[in-house]
Amino acid sequence: MKTLVLGFLLMAVCSALSPEEIQRLEKMPGHMKPFGSAGPYFDIPVVNEYPSTRDFFNKYVIGSTPLVIKGAVKETIAYRNWTDEYFIQHPKSKELVFAEARKKEVRTEGGFTISFRKYVKHYTKKAMYMVNGVPKFLKPDVPLPNPLKCKEVMAKLADTVMWYSDGGTRSVLHNDDVDNINCLYRGNKTLVFVNRFDTDNEWVNKVIEHPESSY
């Protein structure tokens, strides 16, 4: 298992460019370079434990400020016990899940349904990428992040998604209509955030794929 990310998604954008706009964009730093590589960069606060629910919502969710929480899931069964073997041996692992048929996201291309156990046995051999709700039988291994543990917040929880692959996956530039807590359990993941409030609105609406998709 090279990468495994769980997302707690909480409720809370293509048309043609003109020749002038293309010329303007071609002169921008970062043109034809990996997305996000030209900066400018901003520091993101890093903490070692969950903030209180009040701080989490007031400062970060309402403030629309990203936050890195180091080691937040280390004490969970998911972090400590999950291995491919644990999944395969689990008596309930035949639960069905959805997998994309390739590792680079192509939203117009579909995927397929497969038993979780079969996915775990084959995902390193074929290009496939599981993007599915956390399987029911694994939910007890994944406690809710502390700031979400109250009735009012839980009522707004839109989804709990598990991304599971053997590495090398990429997603398209997109907008999420919901706030996310991304928990990295294995491997590494690079997230590039664009400050929506500091970016030319017209431009954002042109380059971000699928304005209609919620996340």
What are the residues binding ligand NAG (CB under 6 A)?
2, 77, 80-81, 167, 187-188
Closest CA to 142 of 123, 120, 122, 157: 157
| Cβ atoms 7, 161 nearer than 8 A | yes
Q: How far is the CB of 215 from ligand NAG (least distance, A)?
A: 24
SS3 label, residue 206: helix
Q: How far is the CB of 3 from ligand NAG (least distance, A)?
A: 7
Euclidean distance between CA atoms 78 and 168, whole angstroms: 22
Euclidean distance between CA atoms 35 and 39, whole angstroms: 9
Q: How far is the CB of 60 from ligand NAG (least distance, A)?
A: 24
DSSP code for 161: E
DSSP code for 17: P
Nearest to ligand NAG of 105, 141 (CB atom): 141
* Other residues' Cβ atoms within 10 Å of the Cβ of residue 113: 10
Strand 179-186, strand 129-133: pairing: unpaired
Nearest to ligand NAG of 55, 95 (CB atom): 95
Nearest to ligand NAG of 138, 153 (CB atom): 138
Nearest to ligand NAG of 80, 196 (CB atom): 80
Q: How far is the CB of 177 from ligand NAG (least distance, A)?
A: 29
Question: Any residues with CB less than 8 A from the CB of 155 and at least 6 apart, and which?
Answer: none
Q: How far is the CB of 159 from ligand NAG (least distance, A)?
A: 24
Nearest to ligand NAG of 92, 107 (CB atom): 92
